[in-house]
């Protein structure tokens, strides 16, 4: 019996030990399970969710870009994009063939995409509605469509370089690039559940996280002003056949850019179809020698420093010697005996060299840098360049002389606009800007950009004096072709030689420009115009850029409802000028006479000598009238053939005079303005040939 008790005791101990061991394991498992559920539950759930779920991004509606009046410049529309999930595609060969037929794509390229070793791959961005419908009709579980946004441009090419364009995922140029973060918004997601083989679960949960719209950007641009500028630049491209043309319009008191354009341009919606050079924002990306518009800097510095006396006598023999170098005046023969007011009106190079010498290197360059040349203006557009000035150790007497009239240095058009705006607004340098404010979906202002005055360049007194002189340039000097009846315009012409890619000036290639503001005593708008290498007609700022400026300013002042400076006098006051006698002059010899008149010149013929002109010498005609010059080479005078000119847009009387000048006869049909002609312009015909011209009333002609 005692032995039996001794045998049972170890058994009970073992059972107790086993019980406690099992209890300990159970408690450990329960504790572990509790830890997993309560402590690690959220983390593990997230990991499981990631394994179960697949997500496809959906594009966020990109913010609209508006003009200053709220008119839409760039908008967004929603379109489908096609995404493939390769592991869910059962027959990629068959599917690639079907997709190739729908999308008009290479079948082998599509097959490679459908068999990529990846969770998902973009097959096609931005499907049109019909293609999207056909893809969905295939019913393949490996294909998903998701929404993306596509930009559209209600005004076509208007302001294309400034607005820029959008690439695959972001803005790549212009405003689209500069303010990509604000415009792009936040992506949304299409979420679905899938098994370990990436197959979508039949009854899995699907979720759509909607995207968040980007902010709207209201710019300082005025679409109407932009349209007027681009229209006139297009006309200049046709009339003068230059390599390019550009213009900038600014509100001089605030730095707001009202318009910025250059031609040729491109359509942002199809940017890949255009040469990359057409996407450049020329007024801020390109630099060139400014020429005579830069003389305003030298003039204002000389006035500020007391080195300029408008009544002081000066003699221009056609050149000035500086350290053994002869620097010529653009006239060739010189202006002769003039005063310093006429130095400015006639844009006399030797006169400005004299002012530069009086100022000295340090003072002149202090003003140049004070105006902002040699540094970025801070405009909120990508790619602004610095330009190029002489360094302190590079400026000798010759460099000082050439800089004083805008040669030997390079600047950007926007730098010139900012500098002349300081003359217009009382002497202040304002940072130019394109963005005005950012708005949320409800139209609430998120961020508002304000005027940023950087510094004062000149005193108010000097700015008023320079403005008055610029008014005289337009009324009496080289800028007369920019004059507008009833308004006081302040301006300055410029003609600069063009520097080639390897340095040195390119013979016969010029950049002609005009900068001006109106009204002169209380400026509301400043416009800068530059035309690059005009090949038709005279290549001077006064004959090319000034008329373009005037055409823009006339319509813009009317659009802005700026009242004339002389109300009631617009119709009655007509200024007449005497037509100079240019017969038998070489064209280069006639340049000096033409550039000092308020006449617009039109050239006919390819020669060097002026053999005829309309109107006749000595005739009194209104300012801005057309002066038609017939050019004939000396060796061609006995030739019996001539080239038929372009007669469209001329009156019947003017058409007859032009044809008579060339030894051709007019056969008119109808009356009014010439609309068609036979033979066409550029045709070589014998002298005495009849040219049939169809005329129509002006109203009908304008409708065309």
pLDDT at residue 702 greater than cutoff 50:
no
Least-confidence region, from 68-72, 78-82, 603-607: 603-607
CB 276 within 8 A of CB 167: no
Residue-level pLDDT at 571 = 44
Site of tokens 């490679």: 112
Residue-level pLDDT at 704 = 34
Clarify whether residues 143 and 253 are in a common domain.
no
Nearest to 80 by CA among 148, 136, 9, 24: 148
Clarify whether residues 242 and 354 are in a common domain.
yes
CB 511 within 8 A of CB 531: yes
pLDDT at residue 139 greater than cutoff 50:
yes
CB 648 within 8 A of CB 694: no
**Domain end point (choices 500, 525, 560):** 560
Clarify whether residues 621 and 647 are in a common domain.
no
Q: Does residue 418 belong to any structural domain of this protein?
A: yes
Q: Does residue 125 belong to any structural domain of this protein?
A: yes
The distance between the two most distant Cα atoms of the chain, rounded to a whole number of Å, is 157
User: Could you give the CA distance from residue 299 to residue 288 in angstroms, rounded to a whole number?
Assistant: 20
What percent of the chain has pLDDT above 70? 84
Clarify whether residues 402 and 485 are in a common domain.
yes
**Domain end point (choices 160, 192, 219):** 219
CA 378, chain centre distance (Å): 16
Q: What is the mean pLDDT of the chain?
A: 83
Nearest to 74 by CA among 144, 141, 159, 132: 159
Residue-level pLDDT at 676 = 86
Q: What is the residue-wise DSSP string for 341-407?
A: HHHHHTT-HHHHHHHHHHH-HHHHHHHHHHTTTTS----SSTT----B---GGG--HHHHHHHHTT-
User: Could you give the CA distance from residue 164 to residue 609 in angstroms, rounded to a whole number?
Assistant: 47
pLDDT tens, position by position, 185-224 = 766 555 555 555 555 555 554 565 566 778 999 999 999 9
Which pair of structure tokens corresponds to residue 112? Answer: 């490679």
**Which DSSP letter does residue 575 get?**
-
Q: Does residue 495 belong to any structural domain of this protein?
A: yes
How large is the average pLDDT for residues 667-692?
Answer: 82
In this structure, what CATH number is given to the domain that contains residue 672? 3.30.10.20
Residue 698's contacts (CB-CB under 8 Å, 6 or more residues apart) are: 672, 673
User: Could you give the CA distance from residue 291 to residue 492 in angstroms, rounded to a whole number?
Assistant: 11
CA 667, chain centre distance (Å): 45
Q: What phi and psi values does residue 149 have, to the nearest 5 degrees?
A: -105, 145
pLDDT tens, position by position, 237-268 = 988 899 999 999 999 999 999 999 999 999 99
Which pair of structure tokens corresponds to residue 315? Answer: 């003699």
Q: Does residue 259 belong to any structural domain of this protein?
A: yes
Q: Does residue 95 belong to any structural domain of this protein?
A: yes
Q: Which domain holds residue 126?
A: 57-219
How large is the average pLDDT for residues 40-45?
Answer: 64
User: Could you give the CA distance from residue 239 to residue 139 in angstroms, rounded to a whole number?
Assistant: 58
CB 553 within 8 A of CB 232: no
Q: Does residue 412 belong to any structural domain of this protein?
A: yes
The answer to whether residue 292 is catalytic is yes
**Domain end point (choices 199, 219, 239):** 219
Higher-confidence position of 148 and 585: 585
Which pair of structure tokens corresponds to residue 191? Answer: 């979420």
- Using alpha carbons, list the distances in angstroms from residue 510 to 14, 244, 254: 110, 11, 32
How large is the average pLDDT for residues 564-573?
Answer: 57
Residue-level pLDDT at 192 = 55
Clarify whether residues 345 and 388 are in a common domain.
yes
Clarify whether residues 138 and 182 are in a common domain.
yes
How large is the average pLDDT for residues 82-104?
Answer: 86
Q: What phi and psi values does residue 390 have, to the nearest 5 degrees?
A: -70, 140
Q: Does residue 127 belong to any structural domain of this protein?
A: yes
Clarify whether residues 460 and 324 are in a common domain.
yes
pLDDT tens, position by position, 111-123 = 888 888 877 788 8
- The number of folded domains in the chain is 4
Clarify whether residues 594 and 687 are in a common domain.
no
CB 255 within 8 A of CB 242: no
pLDDT tens, position by position, 606-641 = 677 887 777 777 776 666 666 777 777 655 555 677
Clarify whether residues 230 and 204 are in a common domain.
no
Clarify whether residues 361 and 482 are in a common domain.
yes
**632 forms bridges with which residues in the sheet?**
609
Nearest to 532 by CA among 522, 519, 541: 541
Residue-level pLDDT at 703 = 34
User: Could you give the CA distance from residue 73 to residue 215 in angstroms, rounded to a whole number?
Assistant: 14
pLDDT at residue 168 greater than cutoff 70:
no
H-helix segments, 140-221? 160-163, 174-178, 180-184
pTM of the model: 0.73
Which pair of structure tokens corresponds to residue 380? Answer: 């909120």
Catalytic residue among 60, 160, 292, 410: 292
pLDDT at residue 46 greater than cutoff 50:
yes
Residue-level pLDDT at 265 = 94
Clarify whether residues 123 and 169 are in a common domain.
yes
CB 80 within 8 A of CB 146: yes
How large is the average pLDDT for residues 178-182?
Answer: 93
Q: Does residue 51 belong to any structural domain of this protein?
A: no
Residue 149's contacts (CB-CB under 8 Å, 6 or more residues apart) are: 59, 60, 61, 62, 76, 77, 78, 79
**65 forms bridges with which residues in the sheet?**
74, 217
In this structure, what CATH number is given to the domain that contains residue 135? 3.90.1310.10
In this structure, what CATH number is given to the domain that contains residue 535? 3.40.710.10
Clarify whether residues 236 and 375 are in a common domain.
yes
């Amino acid at each position: 019996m005692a032995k039996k008790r001794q045998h049972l005791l170890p058994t009970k101990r073992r059972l107790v030990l086993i019980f406690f061991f099992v209890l300990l394991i159970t408690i450990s498992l329960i504790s572990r399970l509790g830890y997993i559920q309560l402590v690690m539950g959220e983390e593990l759930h997230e990991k499981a969710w990631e394994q179960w779920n697949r997500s496809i991004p959906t594009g966020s509606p990109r913010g609209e870009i508006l003009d200053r009046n709220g008119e839409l410049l760039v908008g967004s529309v929603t379109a489908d994009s096609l995404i493939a999930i390769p592991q869910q595609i059962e027959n990629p060969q068959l599917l690639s063939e079907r997709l190739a037929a729908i999308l008009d794509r290479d079948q082998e390229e599509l097959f490679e995409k459908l068999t990529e070793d990846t969770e998902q791959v973009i097959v096609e961005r931005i499907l049109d509605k019909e293609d999207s419908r056909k893809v969905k009709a295939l019913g393949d579980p490996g294909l998903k469509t998701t929404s993306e946004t596509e930009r559209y441009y209600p005004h076509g090419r208007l302001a294309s370089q400034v607005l820029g364009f959008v690439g695959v995922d972001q803005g790549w140029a212009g405003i689209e690039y500069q303010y990509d973060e604000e415009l792009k918004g936040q992506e949304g997601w299409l979420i679905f559940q899938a098994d370990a083989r990436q197959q979508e679960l039949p009854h899995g949960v699907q979720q759509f996280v909607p995207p968040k719209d980007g902010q709207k950007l209201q710019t300082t641009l005025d679409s109407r002003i932009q349209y007027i500028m681009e229209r006139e630049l297009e006309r200049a491209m046709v009339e003068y056949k230059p390599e390019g043309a550009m213009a900038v319009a600014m509100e001089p008191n605030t730095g707001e850019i009202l318009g910025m354009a250059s031609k040729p341009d491109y359509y942002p919606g199809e940017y890949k179809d255009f040469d990359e050079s057409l996407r450049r924002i020329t007024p801020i990306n390109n630099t060139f020698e400014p020429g005579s518009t830069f003389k305003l800097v030298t003039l204002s510095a000389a006035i500020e420093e007391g080195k300029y006396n408008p009544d002081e006598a000066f003699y221009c023999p056609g050149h000035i010697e500086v350290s053994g170098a002869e620097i010529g005046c653009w006239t060739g023969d010189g202006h002769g005996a003039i005063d310093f007011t006429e130095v400015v009106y006639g844009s006399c190079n030797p006169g400005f060299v004299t002012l530069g010498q009086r100022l000295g290197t340090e003072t002149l360059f202090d003003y140049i840098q004070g105006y902002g040349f040699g540094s970025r203006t801070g405009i909120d557009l990508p790619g602004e360049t610095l330009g190029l000035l002489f360094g302190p150790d590079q400026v000798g007497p010759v460099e000082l002389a050439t800089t004083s009239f805008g040669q030997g240095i390079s600047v950007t058009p926007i730098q010139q606009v900012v500098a002349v705006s300081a003359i217009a607004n009382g002497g202040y340098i304002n940072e130019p800007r394109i963005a005005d404010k950012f708005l949320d979906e409800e139209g609430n202002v998120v961020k508002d950009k304000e005027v940023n005055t950087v510094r004062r360049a000149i005193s108010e007194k000097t700015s008023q004096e320079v403005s008055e002189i610029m008014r005289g340039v337009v009324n009496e000097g080289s800028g007369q072709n920019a004059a507008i009846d009833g308004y006081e315009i302040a301006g300055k012409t410029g003609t600069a030689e063009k520097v080639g890619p390897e340095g040195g000036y390119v013979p016969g290639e010029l950049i002609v420009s005009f900068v001006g503001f109106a009204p002169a005593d209380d400026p509301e708008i400043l416009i800068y115009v530059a035309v690059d290498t005009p090949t038709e007609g005279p290549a001077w700022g006064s004959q090319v850029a000034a008329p373009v400026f005037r055409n823009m300013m006339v319509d813009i002042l009317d659009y802005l409802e700026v009242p004339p400076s002389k109300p009631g006098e617009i119709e009655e006051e007509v200024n007449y000028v005497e037509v100079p006698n240019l017969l038998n002059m070489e064209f280069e010899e006639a340049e000096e006479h033409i550039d000092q008149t308020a006449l617009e010149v039109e050239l006919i013929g390819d020669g060097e000598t002026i053999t005829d002109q309309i109107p006749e010498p000595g005739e009194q005609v209104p300012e801005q009238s057309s002066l038609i010059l017939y050019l004939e080479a000396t060796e061609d005078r006995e030739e019996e053939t001539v080239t038929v000119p372009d007669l469209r847009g001329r009156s019947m009387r003017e058409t007859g005079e032009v044809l008579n000048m060339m030894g051709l006869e007019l056969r008119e049909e109808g009356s009014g303005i010439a609309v068609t002609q036979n033979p066409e312009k550029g045709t070589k015909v014998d002298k005495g040939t009849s040219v049939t011209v169809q005329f129509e009333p002006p109203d009908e002609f304008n409708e065309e």
